[in-house]
């Protein structure tokens, strides 16, 4: 199992234990995603998340959902929809925040060369790679990650306005994101990832 931790985020004390339990309980599990508590630059818990910040949550709140990607793929083909779209309807924000993601080791290793080339979007990479691998995805509304909101973190770069310096940072972040999408799309190319990546680019275009 591999789990990620951005340098400005933190885990709650039992997160790794919960990740371990999930992967050992479900042998076919390839992807794990949990919800977050939002903290400010000083580590203080915020009562409300910023309006523009994604709020990952399951379709059925306060419950754990385990999704079988292989079964969803059959359903998606029958109704001519994207597997990624189905998963993101079950779990809103299932691909948000590196520090809330854990994956089966082979999912990352099978695309290790791509991972080395990515300038950003590790969470998107892990999500799409897991969809491609098939198996089970585990989604919990337990807030096991402390996600820090401040002016220097990645998500803030897409919302910065004002000075020329801020606008330049925003432009650089968007260019890195576009490069990441191009790399993911060219290396993990199929209908599902194409639909997913197109929807992500549209969100960035409107941000």
CA 162 vs CA 32, 167, 169, 172: distances in Å: 37, 7, 11, 15
> How far apart, in whole angstroms, are the C-alpha atoms of residue 66 and residue 79?
21
Residue-range domain boundaries for the chain: 2-150
Please tell me the predicted confidence (pLDDT) of residue 186.
Answer: 60
Instruction: Give the span between the Cα atoms of 182 and 203, in whole angstroms.
Output: 15
In DSSP notation, 84-136 reads HHHHHHHEETTT--GGGEEE-HHHHHTTHHHHHH-SS-HHHHHHHHHHHH-SE
122-133 per-position pLDDT tens digit: 888 899 889 989
pLDDT mean over 103-128: 82
**Which is more confidently placed, 26 or 43?**
26
- Furthest-apart CA pair in the chain: how many Å? 51
What local confidence, expressed as pLDDT, does residue 85 receive? 87
User: Checking DSSP bridges between strand 29-39 and strand 101-103, what pairing results, if any?
Assistant: antiparallel
Span 173-191, pLDDT tens digits: 666 677 676 766 666 646 4
Asked whether the predicted pLDDT for residue 154 surpasses 70, the reply is no
Q: Tokens in use for 42?
A: 């000083």
The better pLDDT of the pair 186, 154 is held by 186
Strand, helix or coil for residue 69? helix
- What local confidence, expressed as pLDDT, does residue 67 receive? 96
Residue 149 has pLDDT above 50, yes or no: yes
| pLDDT confidence of residue 158 | 44
pLDDT at 166: 64
Q: pTM (2 decimals)?
A: 0.80
């Amino acid at each position: 199992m591999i789990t990620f931790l951005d340098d400005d985020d933190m885990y709650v004390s039992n997160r790794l234990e919960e990740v371990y339990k999930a992967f050992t309980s479900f042998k076919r599990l390839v992807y794990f995603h949990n919800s977050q508590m939002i903290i400010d630059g000083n580590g203080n818990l915020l009562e409300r998340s910023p309006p523009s910040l994604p709020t990952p949550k399951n379709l059925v709140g306060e419950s754990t959902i385990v999704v079988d990607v292989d079964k969803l793929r059959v359903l998606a083909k029958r109704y001519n929809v994207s597997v990624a779209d189905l998963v993101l309807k079950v779990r809103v924000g299932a691909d948000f925040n590196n520090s809330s993601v854990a994956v089966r080791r082979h999912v990352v290793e099978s695309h290790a060369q791509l991972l080395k080339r990515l300038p950003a979007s590790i969470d998107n990479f892990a999500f799409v790679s897991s969809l491609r691998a098939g198996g089970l995805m585990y989604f919990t509304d337990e807030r096991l990650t402390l996600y820090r909101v401040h002016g220097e973190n990645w998500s803030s770069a897409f919302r910065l306005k004002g000075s020329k310096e801020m606008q330049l940072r925003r432009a650089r972040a968007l260019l890195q994101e576009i490069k990441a999408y191009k790399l993911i799309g060219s290396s993990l190319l199929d209908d599902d990832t194409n639909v997913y990546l197109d929807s992500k680019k549209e969100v960035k275009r409107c941000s």
